[in-house]
Amino acid sequence: MKRTSRDIRTANRYEVLRQIIARSPTSRQELASATGLSLATVATLVGELLDLRMITEVGFEDSAGGRPRGLVAVNAAGGALIGVDIAETYVHVELFDLALNVLARAEEDIRPGESRPEQVIDHVAAAVGSVVAQAGVEAARVLGVGVSVPGQVDRATGIAEYAPNWNWHDVPLLDLLSEHIAYPLHLDNPLRACAVAELWFGAARGHEDAVVVNLGTGVGAGLVLGGGLHRGVSNSAGEWGHTTLVLDGRLCHCGNHGCVETYVGAPGIMRNLRELDPRSPLLHPEDQTATVDALARGVAEGDPVAVKVVRDTARYLAAGIADLVNLLNPEVVVLSSWVAARLGEPLLDEVREAVARHALRRPLAATEIVLSPIPTDPVCLGAATFALEGALQSVGQRAAQRVVSGKGRTAPTA
Amino acid sequence: MKRTSRDIRTANRYEVLRQIIARSPTSRQELASATGLSLATVATLVGELLDLRMITEVGFEDSAGGRPRGLVAVNAAGGALIGVDIAETYVHVELFDLALNVLARAEEDIRPGESRPEQVIDHVAAAVGSVVAQAGVEAARVLGVGVSVPGQVDRATGIAEYAPNWNWHDVPLLDLLSEHIAYPLHLDNPLRACAVAELWFGAARGHEDAVVVNLGTGVGAGLVLGGGLHRGVSNSAGEWGHTTLVLDGRLCHCGNHGCVETYVGAPGIMRNLRELDPRSPLLHPEDQTATVDALARGVAEGDPVAVKVVRDTARYLAAGIADLVNLLNPEVVVLSSWVAARLGEPLLDEVREAVARHALRRPLAATEIVLSPIPTDPVCLGAATFALEGALQSVGQRAAQRVVSGKGRTAPTA
């Protein structure tokens, strides 16, 4: 319980800014009605955001017969946020304004064998330098950099505890990055980045309970529960890719057998194809992306092998998604990341049909399954959102310190 | 967000009463420090509970040099709560005082074939009448009756939407019960009853994230996330028994194949035994309880078949628990209900060992697996707790109405 009042305050600050980003320009009255918060609370939070120049006053609107209402809008130029998506084969970096428009992009390839932390960090530093230069923003205006790295991370210490693709153990990633990058750094993983991107800007917006299923080389599920990200006690919730789908099934790199990831991650999909037709021209043995692209084209052209592989993959995926539906009873399941984007509607159709066979009637009736509507890289967007959340949290800490030093105890009556 | 301030207020009311029950007698100062709430908030909530005679003033304690502090304690005699556990083969009813001590018990057998709602309701009404008569409480002092029925329930309408054991569909259980029982009625299922019992009185107390694994005829997992019960969007979260453990495995009554329940529910355990030794003297084909008891005795006596069946069951169970650990990253996993109670420590030891082989290192390190410490029927206790929560919620509604009519808008600044 000790965390409650500060958590609520931070969550309310997020929610007000989310609504301003979605509705700019908007009035305090409209924000109060959209968030369910009192007008006084909204006015306080709007004041904090104005102080920080994250939003600006942009005029007045008439209110039927009453006093004209002040309008606020997000101050797009009030700061820049950087999102870093470190994946197995590339580093993708985007620089955003405060309305989360992309102002600049950079991509670096990670070649096979380039898996030492120092090598990866050099790519990150180069790409971050590139987006800042391209966008021409002053260093002081960069509010923060969110960094997503696959696997298990400790946010508080900035350590990548276990990155399965490169077998990294306890790499002090943020310490190493801070030797090259002077902006505030925030570390998390792609599951949670995608979930936060959907929660702020995508298909989870306005939902209390949502699951963002991340389909890439690795797979996992970002969990939005009770309107916020569910992290678990040590920030490792969401490892749905390492839940058992087939007891004693395919060996997984985690040491377990039959994990969901071994059937629906990109290497698992390649294996589904290989088991069906080892010599298929669709198969690019060293290239996951090319293979998934070939499958997508094959499905579009009615190639029976491609259709069968997508159907088999959808069936594995659906059994795993039905588990999430039965266990968590979410309002929406969002399919995100590059495999979902490339296989698109044909995969979605097969998945919906198969989930309906596996899930219980009641939770199934309450759930929608959709593709991520976010048009850009959701991991970069989510990582930038972590930087935004970090900036908002530090506002709150400064505001709280001000009040504490001025008035003594400030615990609210809630 | 609209639910936030009322939810927090209700959760704080629960938490203050939980702490009073745990610490009686206690002071407002101690409650503020235990809950992290302000003294003003605690004083308001304590005032509400005093008004309702759920707690009483019981004197003063010295505070070093300051004014003596008023002490409050739960008013055990201030009301009675009834918990009803409707299971496949019995109805178990307990009557509690407000300190959640059992004052009276009644049990009715449900014979095979007695599965019509009217038959079950007659047993419930008889048992409820019996505990009220035994305890000699006045009708006006019964604050409510919590009713647990297996399967999927709609709390708002009091309808048992799907009870798999009896193939009930959309039975208006509370309407039918209200023809026999005049007290306020609250419907939910055993998963959530056990979770709430652990959260208020058991191994989940004080934890933000906990999973209560319910092992009986059916199996499931009550989820405590973020310090409260996770219900999902249509109150059906926790159907872990119907997540897939073995794709295309044993047929489940839900229509899916390979559900966790088909391997670790009591009928699944009987099947594990039958597959190992179809003529085992441990097997009581028509009696789940007798079979599980025979297995427990067999393990105690070193019977190799019993040891093997418990080990096989523990391995299935552990793979399913590792899924919960990897997905939800809880602080504690509690094994509850009658199969867990009867197989006890030998099952727990095997489960702990096997979970360590299946789960990821980071979430595994953060999780404890324990047997439920609740000595009585946790379903009755949890059902009575729902009645207590219902009574506390109606206090809140009355208090809010009073304030609204007196002072106008009351939305807090949170």
**What's the pLDDT tens digit per position in A72-109?**
999 988 899 999 999 888 999 999 999 889 999 999 99
Angle between the N-to-C axes of helices A304-328 and A288-300, in degrees from 0 to 180, rounded to the nearest 10: 100
Q: How far is A351 from chain B (nearest CA, A)?
A: 16
Identity of the amino acid at A16: V
Position B5 confidence tier, pLDDT thresholds 50, 70, 90: low
ipTM of the predicted assembly exceeds 0.95: no
Position B206 confidence tier, pLDDT thresholds 50, 70, 90: confident
**pLDDT of amino acid B258:** 97
- pLDDT 10s digits, B397-411: 555 444 433 333 333
* Binary contact (A36, B2; C-beta < 8 A): yes
Mean pLDDT of chain B: 90
- Decide if A401 is inside a domain: no
Taking a contact as any Cβ pair under 8 Å apart, which residues of chain A between 154 and 173 contact chain B?
A: 161-162
Domain total of chain B? 3
Map residue A412 onto helix, strand or coil.
coil
- pLDDT 10s digits, B356-391: 999 999 999 999 999 999 988 999 999 999 999 888
B75 token code pair: 């008013």
A413 touches chain B (CB under 8 A): yes
- Decide if A398 is inside a domain: no
Residues B108 and B243 in one domain: no
* Binary contact (A412, B209; C-beta < 8 A): no
Cβ atoms B82, B181 nearer than 8 A: no
B6 touches chain A (CB under 8 A): no
Q: How far is B301 from chain A (nearest CA, A)?
A: 30
**pLDDT of amino acid A353:** 97
Which of A13, A39, A74 delimits the end of a domain?
A74
- Decide if B412 is inside a domain: no
Residues B185 and B251 in one domain: no
- Decide if B210 is inside a domain: yes
Task: List chain B residues with CB under 8 Å of A37.
Answer: 1, 4-5, 411, 414
Number of other CB atoms surrounding residue A377 within 10 Å: 25
* Binary contact (A1, B227; C-beta < 8 A): yes
**Domain coverage including residue B127:** 78-193+377-393
A363 touches chain B (CB under 8 A): yes
- Decide if A402 is inside a domain: no
Query: Which residues neighbour B382 within 8 Å (Cβ) at sequence distance 6 or greater?
Result: B83, B146, B148, B190, B192, B193, B194, B195, B196, B197
C-alpha closest to that of B294 among B276, B309, B313: B309
Residues B212 and B106 in one domain: no
- Decide if A103 is inside a domain: yes
**pLDDT of amino acid B404:** 39
Residues B307 and B366 in one domain: yes
**pLDDT of amino acid B144:** 94
Residue B354, pLDDT above cutoff 60 = yes
Residues A221 and A365 in one domain: yes
Residues A186 and A91 in one domain: yes
Angle between the N-to-C axes of helices A39-51 and A4-23, in degrees from 0 to 180, rounded to the nearest 10: 80
Nearest to B37 among A1, A244, A358 (CB): A1
Residues B389 and B365 in one domain: no
* Binary contact (A365, B37; C-beta < 8 A): no
Residues B215 and B253 in one domain: yes
**pLDDT of amino acid A398:** 53
Nearest to A40 among B231, B366, B413 (CB): B413
Nearest to B236 among A239, A362, A414 (CB): A362
Which of A43, A74, A105 delimits the end of a domain?
A74
Q: How far is B222 from chain A (nearest CA, A)?
A: 9
- Looking at per-residue confidence, does A292 or B65 come out higher? A292
Residues A58 and A103 in one domain: no
- pLDDT 10s digits, B120-165: 999 999 999 999 999 999 888 899 999 999 988 999 999 999 887 7
Residues A237 and A357 in one domain: yes
Please state, in angstroms and rounded to a whole number, the distance separating the CA atoms of residues A321 and A346. Answer: 16
Mean pLDDT of the B23-34 span: 89
Nearest to B239 among A245, A319, A326 (CB): A326
Nearest to A8 among B4, B316, B330 (CB): B4
Residue B65: CATH number of its domain: 1.10.10.10
Q: Which residues of chain A have pLDDT under 70?
A: 1-7, 395-414
Task: List chain A residues with CB under 8 Å of B231.
Answer: 329
Angle between the N-to-C axes of helices B4-23 and B378-407, in degrees from 0 to 180, rounded to the nearest 10: 130
* Binary contact (A247, B249; C-beta < 8 A): yes
Percent of chain B at pLDDT > 70 equals: 93
- Decide if B239 is inside a domain: yes
Residue A154: CATH number of its domain: 3.30.420.40
- Looking at per-residue confidence, does B259 or B401 come out higher? B259
- Decide if B232 is inside a domain: yes
Task: List chain A residues with CB under 8 Å of B244.
Answer: 245, 319-320, 322-323, 358
**pLDDT of amino acid A402:** 43
Nearest to B232 among A235, A249, A363 (CB): A363
Number of other CB atoms surrounding residue A129 within 10 Å: 14
- pLDDT 10s digits, B165-178: 788 999 999 999 99
Position B3 confidence tier, pLDDT thresholds 50, 70, 90: very low
Q: Tell how strand A90-97 and strand A69-74 pair up.
A: unpaired
- pLDDT 10s digits, B222-257: 999 988 899 999 999 999 999 999 999 999 988 999
Residues B134 and B234 in one domain: no
Question: Best of A230, A247, A261, A368 to disrupt the B interface by mutation (most B CBs within 10 Å)?
Answer: A247
- Looking at per-residue confidence, does A7 or B89 come out higher? B89
Please state, in angstroms and rounded to a whole number, the distance separating the CA atoms of residues B90 and B111. Answer: 8
Nearest to A44 among B209, B365, B413 (CB): B413
Residues B125 and B67 in one domain: no
A232 touches chain B (CB under 8 A): yes
**pLDDT of amino acid B6:** 66
Q: How far is B347 from chain A (nearest CA, A)?
A: 20
Query: Which residues neighbour A324 within 8 Å (Cβ) at sequence distance 6 or greater?
Result: A211, A213, A221, A240, A330, A333
* Binary contact (A316, B235; C-beta < 8 A): no
